[in-house]
Amino acid sequence: MSLLDNTILFVKQKLENAEAGHDWFHMERVYKNALLIAEGEDCDMMVVKLGALLHDIADSKFNNGDETIGPKVAREFLESQKAPEETIVHIINIIENISFKGGNFEKKFTSKELEIVQDADRLDALGAIGIARTFNYGGFKNRSLYNPNIAPKLNMTKEEYKNSEAPTLNHFYEKLLLLKDKMNTETGKRIAQERHKFMELFLSQFYAEWEGEK
């Protein structure tokens, strides 16, 4: 089997019991998004594919906030597959620099491949699937749907964002609605605009229903 086939098998097994918003199907959607975006970009396609598949292999949110586990798991796997060291380092850099982290995180690494995978991952946080994932995670954390008395907190530090227990709806303002202006590629920007509009429509309907107006 090829490195790509083995990576898909590894990710499926590793994330078999993962929270639904960060499971194999999330990886698969990000992978598909990345392939679509990469069509219009000059990039190393294998790095894009592996980066998309491994970007959330051990998300710090589910590992007591430890951000070193994902890169470690990815490195051990890629070394076991005898992947070139240059490829391994690139994948590790993608994993370490892809996250939103409150929007105030400064990337310590840049590459066209990171830009593609980051856009692909962010697209999965937008639109219908983004809404579904957001409420799924809120339920996973037993958060309230919405509380009119708790305003969204913008410009959070990385630690504040990581430790937030705010109602699920606040996440739209603290992250999701900010993403369209943070996309890197033209394809990513175009798709993000469409999904952003869908979320605005959802929020309008949500508030109308909350107030008993519709």
Alpha helical stretches, state H, 39-185 = 45-54, 69-80, 85-97, 112-123, 127-140, 158-163, 170-174
Please say if the pLDDT value at position 86 is more than 60. yes
At 110, the amino acid letter reads T
Full-model pTM: 0.89
Band of residue 134 on the pLDDT scale cut at 50, 70, 90: very high
pLDDT in tens, 153-184: 887 777 777 777 889 999 999 999 999 999 99
Please say if the pLDDT value at position 105 is more than 60. no
pLDDT in tens, 187-205: 999 999 999 999 999 999 9
138 Cβ contact list (under 8 Å, min separation 6):
144, 145, 167, 168, 171
Rounded Cα distance between 119 and 98, Å, is 9
Rounded Cα distance between 54 and 24, Å, is 10
Rounded Cα distance between 130 and 104, Å, is 21
Residue 112: predicted pLDDT: 96
Please say if the pLDDT value at position 60 is more than 60. no
Rounded Cα distance between 167 and 159, Å, is 17
Mean pLDDT of the chain: 90
Residue 203: predicted pLDDT: 98
Please say if the pLDDT value at position 103 is more than 80. no
Residue 207: predicted pLDDT: 97
184: three-class secondary structure by DSSP: coil
The region that residue 153 occupies, defined by phi over 0 for left and psi between -120 and 50 for alpha, beta otherwise, is: beta
Please say if the pLDDT value at position 100 is more than 90. no
75: three-class secondary structure by DSSP: helix
Please say if the pLDDT value at position 9 is more than 90. yes
Q: Quote the tokens at residue 44.
A: 């190393």
